[in-house]
Amino acid sequence: MIDISKIKYRFALVMSDGKNLDITDTVQSLNWEEGKGELATRITISLYNTLYSGKAISTWAKPGSLIGVLADWGTGFEEVARGTIVDWEPNLQNSKNLLEVTCYDDLYNLQKSQDNIYYSAGIDTRSAITQICSAWNVPLETYNGPKETHAKLVYKSKTISDIILDILEDAVSKGAKKCLMRNVKGAFSIIPKGSNKSVYHFGEDNSIVSNYKLSTGNLVTRVKVIGQEDDEGRTSVEAVLDGKTEYGIRQKIITKGKDDSLDEVKKSARELLKEEGDIKKTMKLESPDIPFIRKGDLIHVTLGNMKGYYFIEGIRHNVANAIMSMELELTDKE
């Protein structure tokens, strides 16, 4: 068992000469999170801008500097997150000199970069993802992901992170396990969700808040594909794809381009129904902070309307308040 009261954090700044500076005593507040639908870990820190070697911390902690988050839960300090400074903002609040910084790990570059990528039919998941990672200098230390065979994959001006997530999701539609990309101490891996060896239980005795919400507010139940306008401005209906019309007709329109095949446009319509055509389930849980629990982990919950095994789709660790907030997805595990 983990004694939550004994969990300790330490924060380190990697100096330009490669030395680590312990900045734990200067940290006013720190949150680190792995967001739903994102690859990169984000660290948000507020520091007291005190002096080190005669210079303010803001002169040492600069855009591009690396900051590490370490935690001890009984086995000694281990790194749980890292990121380089992207946003840097020294300011004065209530007569206090502060430095506000936001850091991301190296996967942030994939979230902020777009590309056009084409794969012929027959490429497998591993080859597609490893080729992308190689092209973007993201070395995969471990690949325990799917190896499904895909149809033609075409991406135009999409972010690299969205392309990777889409390929993994396409593999799931072909029967593969749900997987994610994870950064552990600077090493990158593709692993199945729920790979954690210890599955932690959350119930009334170790949880603070639970929230379970169902909504059809933004549900799309029909997609109509229309062709190009004729000389008089009229359009023809090329296809109609229905989803969960038992909730009423809520229609979106996709226009077929001159050079688009109907099959390609119908695929886009099916993807739209897949993304927006189901009841939105929002499941959230707050509990005392456990530093080593991460996005993609499997947990067990018996609290309110939540009963069963869940994947963590997003997680935020609030160090100052010793609380973690999780977004969950119900699994079919019994």
Q: How many separate domains does the chain show?
A: 4
Both 101 and 113 in one domain: the answer is no
pLDDT in tens, 276-293: 898 888 899 999 999 999
Both 119 and 227 in one domain: the answer is no
- pLDDT, position 232: 80
Both 164 and 115 in one domain: the answer is yes
Say which residue the tokens 């850091």 belong to.
Answer: 103
| Angle made by CA atoms 141, 144, 145, in degrees to the nearest 5 | 115
pLDDT in tens, 212-247: 888 898 999 999 999 888 888 888 899 999 999 999
Which residue segment(s) compose the domain that 77 sits in? 4-105
What is the spatial distance between Cα 98 and Cα 56, in angstroms, rounded to a whole number? 10
The chain-wide mean pLDDT, for the chain, equals: 92
| Alpha-carbon distance values, 162 to 228, 263, 278 (Å) | 29, 22, 20
Both 12 and 77 in one domain: the answer is yes
- pLDDT, position 95: 67
Q: How, if at all, do strands 140-143 and 187-192 pair?
A: parallel
CB 60 within 8 A of CB 50: no
Both 206 and 311 in one domain: the answer is yes
Q: Which one of 90, 105, 120 terminates a domain?
A: 105
Both 94 and 169 in one domain: the answer is no
CATH of the domain at 59: 2.30.300.10
Q: Among candidates 157, 116, 162, which has minimal Cα distance to 135? A: 116
In this prediction, residues 21-39 reach a mean pLDDT of 94
In this prediction, residues 16-45 reach a mean pLDDT of 93
Both 210 and 232 in one domain: the answer is no
CATH of the domain at 167: 3.55.50.10
CATH of the domain at 321: 2.40.30.150
Give the contacts of 149 (CB within 8 A, at least 6 positions apart).
122, 123, 124, 174
What is the spatial distance between Cα 265 and Cα 253, in angstroms, rounded to a whole number? 11
Both 210 and 257 in one domain: the answer is no
Both 11 and 67 in one domain: the answer is yes
Both 206 and 324 in one domain: the answer is yes
Tell whether the model's pLDDT for residue 333 goes beyond 90. Answer: no
Both 205 and 163 in one domain: the answer is no
Both 206 and 323 in one domain: the answer is yes
Tell whether the model's pLDDT for residue 309 goes beyond 80. Answer: yes
Tell whether the model's pLDDT for residue 328 goes beyond 70. Answer: yes
End-to-end CA distance of the chain: give it in Å, rounded: 23
- The percentage of residues in the chain with a pLDDT greater than 70, rounded to a whole number, is 99
pLDDT in tens, 104-140: 999 999 999 999 999 999 999 999 999 999 999 998 9
Q: Which one of 105, 122, 152 terminates a domain?
A: 105
pLDDT in tens, 60-75: 999 999 999 999 988 8
Q: Which one of 276, 292, 315 terminates a domain?
A: 276
Counting DSSP H helices and E strands in the chain, the numbers are 5, 23
